[in-house]
């Protein structure tokens, strides 16, 4: 009975191994054979004279031992040799020096050998599972996963996906207003995969800008298809975000496509992010214009750039300053994150407003396309233009030298006594 129980135990081991997912057939066969050979080597000092045949489809195995026939009084190693008398019991035609191959049953080696094999297999299976888990999820970094809340702790939440893979959502990676119950489904992005001491940990995030990008890809077909590109993302999780988008098709309005009719597309993203307010703006490589757009809904009067130190001084009318800064400084902080520039806001003085003249007032003397080019670099007024060096105007506004000289001549004339 004992041997039968051990045999059933081995079959169960194979059945368990055969059902494992994400382990390819050659690897499975190799690990099984290696495990048997390890146990045989421990028992007999060598496994060289054994043939191990694995049948993964059937979930069983065969072990064949090869021994050389020797005289009855010359037997030195029962594992490597067999006497002529014993060989004749198998086949009377055997002669000294020939090799006898006979099948052995692993369960006959005893309970200890069977237990040793199960422990060896269990260890290797666990190691394979860990390697497989790490390799699969290291390739999924930046992708959205959906998992169920299994356990809630103070500093993190343990989640399980459909394949019972464990994932961690730290408190630091949760939106401040996130609240989850056991059994609830959670969406997040794979932030990183740690692998200390061959113990992989899958870390998720709901605060990462990448999570917001992936949500847009799910909700906006044009982004998924590559017609619209997300160029920059800045987030204050659960509060506000700014997303800069660009279209490769002139017929597509990237902002309109992302927002959707009556905000239909963006509403789902906002709900997922706990009512995070999302501003979608048109991306541009023109840094002056990009800073203006990033400070929306505030309207900028002029900008002074220090590109070497990535700094921008922004001038606004008094009533626009609070809009530019935003509640708790949120708008200007996001604009700085989005553009990569440290932005300082300055209030225009009343004297400057009274003295200055909007460029639109010069439409009779300056071509409209020239005025538009100047506006794109943050110059809405005459003094804005005059405050910028001539060479910088030529370079930034992409205007001819004689055009800039003519503009400066017209504007300066207005302020001469």
DSSP-derived secondary structure for 58-82: TTEEEEEEEEEEE-GGG---TTTEE
Give CA separation, 232 vs 193, 198, 337, in Å. 24, 35, 9
Q: What is the domain partition of the chain in residue ranges?
A: 2-135, 147-205, 356-415
The CATH classification number of 356-415 equals 1.10.150.20
Q: Output the six-digit token pair for 119.
A: 């422990």
What is the reported pLDDT for 405? Answer: 94
In order along its 417 residues, the chain shows pLDDT tens digits of 444 444 444 555 555 555 555 566 777 778 888 888 888 888 888 889 989 888 776 667 888 989 999 998 888 888 898 899 988 988 888 889 999 988 888 777 778 887 888 888 778 878 888 888 898 899 999 999 999 999 999 999 999 999 899 999 999 999 999 999 999 999 999 999 998 888 899 999 999 999 999 999 999 999 999 999 999 999 999 999 999 999 988 889 999 999 999 899 999 999 999 999 999 999 999 999 999 999 999 988 888 899 999 999 898 887 888 888 888 889 999 999 999 999 988 777 544 455 678 888 888 899 989 988 887 776 778 887 888 888 888 887 889 999 999 999 998 888 775
Q: Is 146 left (phi over 0), alpha (psi -120 to 50) or beta?
A: beta
3-state secondary structure of 178: coil
* Distance of alpha carbon 137 from the chain centroid: 9
Of 320, 332, 173, nearest to 240 (Cα)?
332
Strand (E) positions, 248-323? 277-282, 302-306, 311-316
- Rounded to the nearest 5 degrees, what angle is found at the Cα of 266, between the Cα atoms of 262 and 267? 75
Cβ-Cβ contacts under 8 Å for 216 (sequence gap 6 or more): 223, 230, 243, 258, 269
Pairing of strands 277-282, 240-247: parallel
H-only helix segments in 177-281: 209-219, 221-224, 254-259, 264-272
Question: Does the CA dihedral 121-125-128-134 come out positive or negative?
Answer: negative
Residue 389: phi and psi, rounded to 5, are -55, 145
In contact, 248 and 234? CB cutoff 8 Å: no
Q: What is the pTM of this model?
A: 0.67
What is the reported pLDDT for 16? Answer: 58
The span from the CA of 183 to the CA of 150, in Å, is 6
Residue indicated by tokens 């992936």 = 214
What is the reported pLDDT for 278? Answer: 96
Convert the pLDDT of each residue in 231-272 to its tens digit: 999 999 999 999 999 998 888 999 999 999 989 999 999 999
In contact, 155 and 169? CB cutoff 8 Å: no
Q: Output the six-digit token pair for 81.
A: 């040799």
What is the reported pLDDT for 2? Answer: 43
What is the reported pLDDT for 199? Answer: 87
What is the reported pLDDT for 1? Answer: 43
In contact, 8 and 106? CB cutoff 8 Å: no
Of 352, 345, 343, 363, nearest to 387 (Cα)?
352
What is the reported pLDDT for 259? Answer: 94
* Distance of alpha carbon 51 from the chain centroid: 45
Please tell me the total number of residues recorded for the chain in this structure: 417
The span from the CA of 168 to the CA of 178, in Å, is 15
Of 365, 369, 367, 350, nearest to 411 (Cα)?
365
In contact, 246 and 257? CB cutoff 8 Å: no
The span from the CA of 203 to the CA of 269, in Å, is 22
Helix then strand count (H, E) for the chain reads 16, 15
Burial of 402 (0-12, 13-18, 19+ CB in 10 A): exposed
Kind and range of the H or E run holding 192 = strand 185-196
In contact, 381 and 374? CB cutoff 8 Å: no
* CATH architecture of the domain formed by 147-205: Beta Barrel (2.40)
What is the reported pLDDT for 272? Answer: 95
What is the reported pLDDT for 126? Answer: 82
Q: What is the dihedral of CA 233, 237, 239, 240, to 10 degrees?
A: 0
* CATH architecture of the domain formed by 2-135: 2-Layer Sandwich (3.30)
Percent of residues in the chain assigned helix, strand, coil, to nearest 5: 45, 25, 30
């Amino acid at each position: 009975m004992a041997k039968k129980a051990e045999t059933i135990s081995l079959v169960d081991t194979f059945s368990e191994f055969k059902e494992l997912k994400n382990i390819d057939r050659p690897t499975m066969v190799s690990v099984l054979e290696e495990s048997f050979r390890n146990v045989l080597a421990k028992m007999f000092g060598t496994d060289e004279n054994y043939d191990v045949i694995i049948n993964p489809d059937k979930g069983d195995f065969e072990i064949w031992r090869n021994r050389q026939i020797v005289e009855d009084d010359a037997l030195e190693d029962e594992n490597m040799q067999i006497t002529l008398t014993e060989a004749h019991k198998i086949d009377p035609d055997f002669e000294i020096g020939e090799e006898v191959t006979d099948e052995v049953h692993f369960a006959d080696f005893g309970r200890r050998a069977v237990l040793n094999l199960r422990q060896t297999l269990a260890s290797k299976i666990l190691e394979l599972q860990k390697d497989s888990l790490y390799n699969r999820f290291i390739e999924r970094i930046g992708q959205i996963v959906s998992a169920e809340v299994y356990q809630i702790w103070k500093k993190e939440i343990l989640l399980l996906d459909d394949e019972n893979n464990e994932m961690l959502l730290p408190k630091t990676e949760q939106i401040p207003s996130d609240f989850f119950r056991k059994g609830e489904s959670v969406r997040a992005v794979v932030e990183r995969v740690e692998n200390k001491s061959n113990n992989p940990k899958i870390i998720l995030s709901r605060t990462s800008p990448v999570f917001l990008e992936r949500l847009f890809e799910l909700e906006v077909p044009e982004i998924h298809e590559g017609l619209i590109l997300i160029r920059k993302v800045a987030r204050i999780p659960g509060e506000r975000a700014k997303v800069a988008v660009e279209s490769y098709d002139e017929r597509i309005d990237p902002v309109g496509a992302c927002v959707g009719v009556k905000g239909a597309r963006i509403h789902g993203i906002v709900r997922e992010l706990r009512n995070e307010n999302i501003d979608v703006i048109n991306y541009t490589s023109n840094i002056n214009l990009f800073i203006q757009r990033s400070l929306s809904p505030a309207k900028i009067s002029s900008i002074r750039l220090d590109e070497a130190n990535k700094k921008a001084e922004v001038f606004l009318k008094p009533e626009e300053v609070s809009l530019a800064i935003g509640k708790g400084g949120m708008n200007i902080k996001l604009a700085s994150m989005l553009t990569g520039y440290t932005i300082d806001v300055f209030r225009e003085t009343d004297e400057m407003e009274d003295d200055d003249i909007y460029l639109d007032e010069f439409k009779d003397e300056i071509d409209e396309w020239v005025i538009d080019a100047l506006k794109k670099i943050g110059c809405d007024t005459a003094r804005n233009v005059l405050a910028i060096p001539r060479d910088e105007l030529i370079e930034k506004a992409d205007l001819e030298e004689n055009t800039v000289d003519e503009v400066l001549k017209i504007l300066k004339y207005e302020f001469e006594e």
